[in-house]
Chain A
Amino acid sequence: MNTADQYLKTIYVVQKQEDGPASTGSIADALGVSPASANEMIGKLEERGLAEHEKYKGVRLTDDGIVKARDALQTYCIIERFLANVLAVEEFREEAHELEAVIDDTVADRLDTIIDRQPECPDCFDPETDACACLEVAAVPAEPEQ
Chain B
Amino acid sequence: MVEVSVSQRITSDDQLARLLQIGIVLEEVVEARAHHHYESLDAELDEEVETLLADAAEESAEHRARLEGLIEGLGVDSVPFDEIESLVDARYGRTQPDDFDGVLYDQLCNEETAYKFYDDLIEAIEGSDAEFSLDRAELLDTLESIREEEAEGVSEVTEVMERR
Measured CB to CB, the residues of A under 8 A from B are: 2-4, 6, 31, 33, 37, 40-41, 44-45, 48, 82-83, 86-87, 89, 95, 98-99, 101-104, 106-107, 109-111, 113-116
Contact = CB atoms under 8 A, between A and B. Distances in A.
A109 B25 contact: no
Per CB-CB distance, the 10 closest pairs between chain A and chain B, nearest first, are A114-B87, A4-B2, A101-B8, A110-B113, A106-B113, A107-B117, A113-B95, A3-B6, A102-B124, A3-B4
B5 A104 contact: no
Given A106-B113, A114-B29, A3 B88 contact: no
A92 to B, nearest CB: 11
Contacts of A114: 25, 29, 84, 87-88, 90-91
Nearest to A107: B117
Contact of B91 (A33, A109, A116): A116
Nearest to B85: A114
Contacts of A87: 18, 21, 25, 79
A91 to B, nearest CB: 10
B116 interface: yes
B79 A102 contact: no
A51 B116 CA distance: 28
A77 B115 CA distance: 22
Most buried by A among B18, B22, B110, B117: B22
A41 B110 CA distance: 33
B65 interface: no
A110 B120 contact: no
A89 B79 CA distance: 12
B13 interface: no
A44 B6 CA distance: 14
Contacts of A107: 22, 26, 113, 116-117, 120
